[in-house]
Amino acid sequence: MIFQFILMIIFVFLSATPCVDAGLVRAMAPFRWFILVFTWGAALLLGASASRQLRKFLTPLPYPVDHNQLVTSGAYALVRHPLYSSLLLAATGWTLFTMSLAHLFLTLSGFIFFSYKASREERWLTERHPEYADYSLRVKRFIPRFFKPLI
């Protein structure tokens, strides 16, 4: 939890220096804005939907609360960890918008960190909800129908 907070603070305050020519940055401005609006809009919808679905069970801790129930519908039918996905999608959008190598590095670090954190959570969820194993075979971790776990 602390590492996640530190990673997010660094990401927000990190200088967004493009790694490409300033002329290319200007020329790609409409495309960059489209990507930013699309990714942030999708991240907002995904994160808000997941938060709403988990509202009674949401906790800052990585392990499930005692009174939790397994949620597999809505945002959780798309990906197993939509809250992490929304953060990673927003970070990816900002990274593409700024064309910053430093932000790319932090976004990749975020994927690795959230993969580790999600795998720990999934062990706890499988212990508590045996049906989680089947759910995890049907639904990908972060990116619908695409992303396999790193860890």
The CATH number of residue 120's host domain is 1.20.120.1630
Please state the domain count of the chain.
1
Q: Which residues contact 64 (CB under 8 A, 6 or more apart)?
A: 57, 121, 124, 125, 128
45: exposed, middle or buried (Cβ count in 10 Å: 0-12, 13-18, 19+) = middle
Asked if residue 111 is part of any domain, the answer here is yes
pTM of the model: 0.87
Domain that includes residue 85, residue range: 28-57+71-151
Spell out the per-residue pLDDT of the chain, length 151, in tens.
688 888 889 888 888 888 888 888 899 999 999 999 999 999 999 999 999 998 888 777 777 777 888 999 999 999 999 999 999 999 999 999 999 999 999 999 999 999 999 999 999 999 999 999 999 999 999 988 765 555 5
| Residue 5, domain member (yes or no) | no
Report if residue 13 sits inside a domain.
no
